[in-house]
Amino acid sequence: MVVGQMRFGTSQNAGEHETSLENDRLGKTLVIVNRRNQALPPNGHPMGVGACGIGQLGCWGVSHTYGVQGLTLRDGAVPTGVVGYGQAVNNSGVMGQADRGAIAYGIWGRSVEGYAGYFSGKVHVEGALTKGSGGFKIDHPLDPENKYLVHSFVESPDMLNVYSGNVETDDNGDAVVPLPSYFDALNQDFAYQLTCIGQFAQAIVAEEVDKNQFSIRTDAPNVKVSWQVTGVRKDPYAAQNRIIPEEDKPEEERGLYLYPESYHQPRSRHINSERELAQEANQAQLTVQAAELLDRYGTEKI
């Protein structure tokens, strides 16, 4: 292994079968050229690599624009611009942090045709989650090979919890509905709905929620009643982080839109327009530089 300090106009080659660092005068950038060098990634299949780093900081970059940048030119689901693996216990594969500014993004994913983010496994959000729309998408139970089934989430300006079930009143028209043991601790501001099933009858809430249960009464005996109770969250986290249905946009987002096309406005009025234009320009420049380097060094060497 050869260790050296790299400057523009200098180059270092650790051997014919190793990775060399060379100055690319085309773009005045440092180029890492793979000369038949291979690495063994976690999937076990050897592949040519442009740079491989091992240490407390395997690869490190500081810049006024992009600290670390990756580009792949091959079609397919496997080639990836940047890959991170955390193979020891409690590692993180990729971490991003940006703390300053109302529109600072720790990680920003973008895709025009595909998914800006795709997660295979559990996802946890520590904090608020906002979205334009959402729901579940599953293989259609009646035709799982050819169709999907899509439903929208139920949404509300309140932090509502919904509970429902069926109960049958006794010979006196009374019934007690048990609720989960955490119900009282989690909820407040209850609302009730009762529907009699199978016969005409009147049903009322005889006693409201108390000690994780409530009582209903019908004017006829042995009536099946479908019930629903909603409660507003009152747990400590919810109490400290109430949803505000209407809020003013911060100064830097005024005059801009989350969904400009829905209001017949151009994409240039999207809140991320400046970021998007910068990314597109950078990607175009990087693609041109990559094509020049491939032509210069030959695809069989890189």
Asked if residues 26 and 292 have their Cβ atoms less than 8 Å apart, the reply is yes
pLDDT recorded at residue 7:
37
Low-confidence ranges of the chain (pLDDT < 70): 1-58, 297-302
d(CA 12, CA 3): 9
pLDDT recorded at residue 141:
95
Task: Give exposure, 102-138, as e/b (b: 16+ Cβ within 10 Å).
Answer: eeeeeeeeeeeeeeeeeeeeeeeeeeeeeeeeeeeee
Give the pair of three-digit tokens for residue 274. 């400046």
Asked if residues 98 and 108 have their Cβ atoms less than 8 Å apart, the reply is no
pLDDT recorded at residue 152:
92
pLDDT recorded at residue 285:
81
pLDDT recorded at residue 28:
52
Task: Name residues whose C-beta falls within 8 Å of residue 12's C-beta, 6 or more positions apart in sequence.
Answer: 2, 4, 6, 20, 21
- CA atoms within 13 Å, Cβ hemisphere of 76: 6
Q: What are phi and psi of 117, to 5 degrees?
A: -150, 135
d(CA 258, CA 116): 15
pLDDT recorded at residue 192:
98
